[in-house]
Amino acid sequence: MAMLKLRSAFILGVVFSILSISQCIDDKCAACNAIAEELEIGLAKEKPRNNLDMRHRLNSKGQREGKVIDYRVSELRVVDLLDGLCDKMQDYTLQKTDSTRQLWIKMPNWDNNLTINKQEARANSKDISTYCGRLLEKTEDELTELMKKGLVEAGDVSKVLCQDLSKHCSSTRDSQQPDEEL
């Protein structure tokens, strides 16, 4: 009985591994750069916000106690920027640029004429959205801390996210690192 359970667990593990490999993003650097581009769009659209007033308690003299936090270095700002990021990636699909390269592009209107069929485009958009979730799960803590310190601003998201944190792109060229797996 124990041997049967062990064999079933092994078979399930093999099947799960095969399925997860088949849904893998081929060019992690290009996919990471597309995610960074979408985060850049969020940073560019960001409107100035007031500081967060966390002075909710009153002391014995009736004066408010607590601190005022600059929105630019707050956890709320990070949540505002990252929340829904992977859902936005469903607007992206792969487009072949030449015989050897593919590029992740944003499709503002899925009704436009695509060079690939819509079913394939939807599958690609689901793949990058899933990849985005895995990427953020792996890098979110470090990315959050860097954003709170003001070290991630518009223009350098790709370098921070794709080179420094995930290591999917090398600093000398835009290619994936073969030893990294997401």
Tens-place pLDDT, residues 115-158: 567 788 888 899 999 999 999 999 999 999 999 888 888 888 99
Give the whole-number percent of the chain exceeding pLDDT 90. 32
* Tokens matching residue 74: 């707050």
Which residues does 66 contact at the CB level (< 8 Å), separation at least 6?
A: 53, 54, 55, 56, 57
Which residue's entry shows tokens 């850049």? 40
Element (H, E) at 102: strand 102-106
Q: Which amino acid is at 136?
A: L
DSSP lists the bridge partners of residue 95 as 103
Give the mean model confidence (pLDDT) for residues 95-106.
78
Contact 31, 166 (CB under 8 A): no
Query: pLDDT of 102-114, one tens digit each?
Result: 788 887 665 555 5
Q: What's the one-letter identity of residue 33?
A: N
| Contact call for residues 147 and 77 (beta carbons, < 8 A) | yes
